[in-house]
């Protein structure tokens, strides 16, 4: 492996079948707000596989590339599948100032668990962070 390179992988199985008594099931204090689960972006009845490869070229410059596959409603007839690919690069302008630029593309099939409903999204962002 190259110095400064990192590979990160994560898998989460949030299906109630995986650990029935553990995921979002508290009777008095359910882990939802306005019908949405908080704690993991995939929500309940989902699984998520994530990979990220990052490289620090110097103390000032880094790049990242990643992939995320998420299935939502895995116990429903029409499981939503989302594939997301992303790139990010950042530069430390000064000890107290960082700049990052991001792009992501995603394809969703059975969007909102509706059969054959597809969606494609592009996300772009710029972040300027002041550390003090």
DSSP string, 93-106: EETTEEEEEEEEEE
Determine the distance from the C-alpha atom of residue 39 to the mean position of all C-alpha atoms in its chain, rounded to a whole number: 12
Question: Are 86 and 103 a contacting pair, CB within 8 Å?
Answer: yes
pLDDT digits (tens, 9 = 90+) for 84-111: 999 999 999 999 999 999 999 999 999 9
Residue extents of the structural domains in the chain: 5-130
Q: Which of 107, 103, 105 is nearest to 87 (CA)?
A: 103
Q: Mean pLDDT over all residues of the chain?
A: 88
Residue 126, burial from CB neighbour count under 10 angstroms (0-12, 13-18, 19+): exposed
Confidence of residue 27 (pLDDT cuts 50, 70, 90): low
Report pLDDT for 44. 72
Question: Does 20 score more than 70 pLDDT?
Answer: no
Report pLDDT for 104. 98
Residues 6+ apart with CB under 8 A from 11: 47, 48, 49, 50
For the segment 21-33, the average pLDDT, to the nearest whole number, is: 62
């Amino acid at each position: 492996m190259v110095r400064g390179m990192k590979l990160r992988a994560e898998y989460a199985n949030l299906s109630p079948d995986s650990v029935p008594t553990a995921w979002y099931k508290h009777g008095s204090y359910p882990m939802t707000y306005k019908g949405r689960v908080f704690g993991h972006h995939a929500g309940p009845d989902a699984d998520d596989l994530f990979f990220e490869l990052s490289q620090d070229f110097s103390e000032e410059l880094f790049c990242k590339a990643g992939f995320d596959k998420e299935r939502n409603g895995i116990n429903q007839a029409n499981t939503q599948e989302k594939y997301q690919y992303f790139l990010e690069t950042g530069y430390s302008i000064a000890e107290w100032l960082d700049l990052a630029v991001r792009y992501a593309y995603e394809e969703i099939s059975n969007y909102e668990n509706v059969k054959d409903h597809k969606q494609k999204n592009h996300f772009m962002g710029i972040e300027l962070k002041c550390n003090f």
